[in-house]
Amino acid sequence: MDNDLIPLLQLCDSNFPSGAFSHSFGLETYIQEQVIVDKESFKTAISAFVDKQLVFSDGLACRLSYEILESTRGINELLEIDRLLYVSSLAMETREGNRRIGERMAKLCLELYPSTTLGEYLQFIKNKQGYGHSALVFAFVAHHLQIDKEKILSAYLFASVSSLIQNAVRGVPLGQTDGQKLLVEMQVKIHEAKNRIMMLTKDDLGAVSPGLEIAQMRHERLPVRLFMS
């Protein structure tokens, strides 16, 4: 096994304690309204999530952050990506969910794969000069371990999709077998998303779906919730 595959597998493990299992990022709204009722309807929803949220926001931020680290342009440009991610998320629960996951991942990864730049990022978060996002943490870890940019981007997209599918297994609910089938079916979508992200620029960051953002906002008012966002 390639040495760089081991940390990737660890970061993509659904048992990795980032806190992502507590968040649906608005998809629970569609479940409550019975827009999502089975595997196929969830596949439609998560495909839209990948095409918008992951391509134009989280995934693009991961790539841009990695490139900043490669160029040694400094922490200020990374903090700008961090800020743009936070302020472009209109739903309070989603903003806070991403912040908590990012800070938790930064703390954990600093213990697992210590690096000076990740330590600086975490200190900025603690000092309220940064917000925290898992996309940046993936970039820090990948750059520190000298993992190829496209590999870490694919890993980040896979981890995000896998986490949402596991949450759908509980929330829709889907059967475990349907969840695994869907994860296989989404591999082509993940590959396509990675290729699209490689062609985007910083000007594309934050171009997400209004429908998804509205669902994320409405989640705050659901009468019964399994997830924090």
| SS3 at position 150 | helix
Domain 25-217 matching CATH 3.40.50.720: the answer reads no
Whole-angstrom distance, CA of residue 191 vs CA of residue 77 = 27
Across 33-44, average pLDDT: 93
Token pair 């997830």 in the structure block, residue: 227
Cα end-to-end distance, the chain, whole Å? 37
pLDDT in tens, 131-157: 999 999 999 999 999 999 999 999 999
- Better-predicted residue by pLDDT, 194 or 212: 194
Q: What is the mean pLDDT of the chain?
A: 90
- Residue ranges of the domains in the chain? 25-217
Residue 2 pLDDT grade (very low, low, confident, very high; cuts 50, 70, 90): low
pLDDT in tens, 100-111: 999 999 999 999
Across 167-189, average pLDDT: 92
